[in-house]
Structures are given as C-alpha cells and as structure tokens.
Copies of this chain bind each other. A is one copy, B any other.
C-alpha cells in the first residue's frame, strides 16, 4: 500500500473487519472502557426513581448528589461539599467560572492565561475581550510549561482573574500550580484551574494551590460517563450565576438564592451522570494513590521509546507527565495518519489541534499532530501493536 491510495473522503482503507480488536487510545478525550462499578451505578440510578429527600419512598437509595459532593470535596481537598457545583462538562464549569466572575465584578478587568489553554478557556476569554469586558494577557509556554515568574510579571493593578490548565491535553505537561497560586493569592487574583486532564491522574489539592475555582469533568480520568462535570469554588459570593431557574429551594424567589450549591445549579440534575462520578471516584480511591497514572505512564513511555527511534517519526513530548503521546510522521498529514491507524489497524487516536490551537503554533507550525492517550485499562500488548502500526505507516512509500 502506498500513500497515494489514501483517500479519507472516499473511504479508502476502510478494511476494518468487525472481528478486529479495537485498541482505544483516545482516553484524554473520554476514558474507555468504564469500570463495572460505574456501569452498575448508572443502571441502578436509572432503574429507581430519583432520590429526593422527603419526596420519594425509595429511602434505601443513595442520595447521589449529596454523597458525590462529599466525595468530590474530599478528592480535591476542598472541604465544603456544598461548594461543589455540578455542571455538564469541564467546558460548562469553565464558562460558569469565567463568565460568572466577570459578571459579578461588573467593571472591566485584566485576565491572565496561557497559550496552553483549551478552547474551553480561550473562547470564553476571547469572547469577553471582543465584548470589551476584559483585557487579556496570554503567557507563552516553553516546552509545555508556564514559568511562574512570567505570571508574576504579567500581573497588573487591574488584574482580576487568571486561568490556567493543570495538565496540557496536547503535550501532557503538568503545571506547578502551587507556585502560580502563591503569586496570585498574594495579589488577590481570582484563580481558575482547568483540571480536565489531570483530575484522577494527578493529585489536586484545592487548598494548597490557593485556587478560587477548579473545573473538572467526570468522563475523563474520573471514569464517569459523558455529560457530567463540576466546579469546585471557594467563595460563592465572588461568582454571579450564569444560569437561572428552578432549584427546588426558595421557589417563591424570582431570583437565584445566595446559597451554594443551589445558587449555581438550575433545573434537573444529571442524576445518572452524578451516580457514575460517585462510582468512578470510588474506583480511583480503591486503586491506590498514583497507581492509575503510574500504569498509564509506563505504557506511554513504552510507545514513545518504540517509535522515537524511527527517523520519520517526530515525537513532540519525549517525557510527558500525563499518558499522552504527540507525534507526526514525516510527509504524512496528521489526519491521514489518524485515518490509517483507525481504518487499517483499528487503533482509535485523535488528530488535529485538539481544541488547543495556540500551542500548536510553536509545536508543529499549527498544522496539528496525532495524539495517543492511554488509561490504566490499556495493555502492554496493545502498546506493542500500536508501535508496530506506527512504524509500518512510517515505512509506506510516498
């Protein structure tokens, strides 16, 4: 097979026999498979009426929202279960924090962020800047790392907020949030953390990093299902609610109340999603501290080691802190590589900009790359097959 036969639009290479064993390496988007306990919790939750204190007679059922808030608060060492707000995903959480803070503050403010951010951070910020509500400074990363010194230098008297991701979904780097948080808390700057990629893999201590808001999602390394996320907050009075509606509490008030979590949560909860998060956290807690990350990184290193020796393969992150491999093959468009991995080898990867456009400018000139992302559910055999597949693709005649 030579490259000239690759035609993604025409579907060439769609060999994909049904009995092919799929190798799933797209865990940075959504982990798969989910632990059995997660599937069981979802089924239990949708098989019983929703637990509502004082309302249903299913008293033996778990009060998932309350119990999950407690578990999340413990997990992130944030203390107060009522300050755990449920959302649809990390994007929703980040919008709630970013727009909510600007809305509450009223006047124009200066905001600091980095070029490593996902569009879930960049797009709300650029939209607010276009609307004249904020000034924006974007700190450039170096090898995927933000220098805390540069954060300190970017601070202005009118800086009201800073938003940083904990782990890059592109390079798998992890930021020194303690140092950044120390600088920001000294200046009383509202500090928002995007922990979408790290929650479940790297310990996040809300108190230690002096965070004001921490956004996470349930369906990545917390092993819940898609559709549930959360925002952990420190001071509810610093955020205006961006959605208003029924909360089941204080119904005669035509405004949202001041008390969390109801201040920020309107409408019917995603109860099955919350149940999955509850079970996912249990799965992580039972696995032992750091064990999921350790196992995932071991296999990640194996893949990087296996493909780095090939001249035609360029690996952009040789020593990631998260189980992510970012690479390109000389002369092959990243989308074509992804297409071949999927259709010839049944390997699920992701290719392109990964919703983080700015950082690609320095990595690959903005053309995008192929990302493999692992979880503890992957096997050594899958990684060996993946290395073999990439090396084979790299040997195709151009």
Contacts and interface: CB of A to CB of B under 8 A. Distances in A.
Contact of A256 (B127, B226, B245): B127
Nearest to A368: B251
A112 to B, nearest CB: 16
A267 B26 contact: no
A120 interface: yes
Contacts of A244: 95, 119-120, 123-124, 126-127
Contact of A227 (B20, B269, B338, B353): B269
Given A16-B57, A88-B88, A123 B352 contact: no
A6 interface: no
Contact of A255 (B126, B227, B338): B126
A29 interface: yes
Contacts of A49: 22, 24, 26, 30, 32, 348
Contacts of A269: 226-227
Nearest to A248: B355
Nearest to A256: B123
Nearest to A229: B267
A378 interface: no
In terms of DSSP, what is the predominant structure of the interface of chain A?
loop
Interface string A114-140: 000011101110110010000000000
Task: Count chain B CB atoms within 10 A of each CB in A18, A55, A92, A227 and give the residue with the most.
Answer: A227
A172 B252 CA distance: 20
B357 A251 contact: yes
Contacts of A349: 55
A94 B54 CA distance: 28
A94 B245 CA distance: 9
Given A47-B33, A366-B252, A120 B267 contact: yes
B55 A225 contact: no
B54 A266 contact: no
Interface in A311-349: 338-339, 342-343, 346-349
A14 to B, nearest CB: 8
Contacts of A42: 42-43, 46, 272
Contacts of A342: 54-57
A385 interface: no
A186 interface: no
Nearest to A246: B355
B26 A245 contact: no
A145 interface: no
Contacts of A248: 355
Interface in A235-292: 242-248, 251-256, 266-273, 276
26 contacts: A14-B59, A18-B60, A26-B55, A30-B49, A30-B268, A32-B50, A33-B47, A34-B46, A38-B46, A46-B225, A46-B276, A55-B349, A57-B348, A88-B88, A91-B246, A95-B243, A118-B245, A118-B246, A119-B254, A120-B245, A122-B254, A123-B255, A123-B266, A225-B272, A226-B272, A251-B353
